[in-house]
């Protein structure tokens, strides 16, 4: 069974975010992948702020695209795994923002 298949099977078994988050962090061992997540999340926040400020609501979509594009490049190109967002989108979205905060606060190495 490939690593990507094992990842997909494991993701289904979580019953809480607290249980999921350590797995999520394990899927982000590669420093470049984490950095790409951080850049994508930062650009996403900037797009969302610009949308609110300018009233150009299409920037909300641009923010989502920035966040996911950078994350998926990190996973497929550097981490060599399948993003958990395909199986657990809500937990993965939450994990993105908790990891983002953990990077800012120094709990996770950037």
Enumerate the domain spans of the chain.
31-110
- pLDDT for residue 5: 41
Residue 28 has pLDDT above 60, yes or no: yes
- pLDDT for residue 9: 55
DSSP string, 27-78: TT-SHHHHHHHHHHHHHHHHHHHHHHHH--THHHHHHHHHHHHHHHHIIIII
Estimate to the nearest angstrom the gap between the alpha carbon of 54 and the chain centroid.
26
pTM: 0.85
CA of 15: how far to CAs of 19, 21, 24, 88, in Å? Answer: 7, 11, 14, 11
Mean pLDDT of the chain: 90
| 29-54 confidence digits (pLDDT tens) | 999 999 999 999 999 999 999 999 99
Residue 4 has pLDDT above 50, yes or no: no
């Amino acid at each position: 069974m490939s690593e990507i298949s094992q990842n997909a099977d494991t993701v289904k078994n979580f019953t809480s975010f607290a249980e999921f988050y350590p797995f999520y962090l394990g899927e982000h061992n590669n420093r470049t992948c984490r950095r790409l997540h951080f850049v994508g999340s930062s650009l996403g926040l900037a797009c969302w702020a610009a949308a609110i400020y300018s009233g150009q609501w299409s920037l909300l979509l641009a923010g989502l695209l920035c966040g996911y594009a950078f994350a998926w490049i990190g996973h497929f190109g550097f981490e060599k795994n399948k993003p958990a967002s395909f199986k657990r989108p809500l937990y993965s979205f939450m994990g993105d923002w908790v990891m983002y905060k953990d990077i800012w606060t120094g709990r996770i190495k950037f």
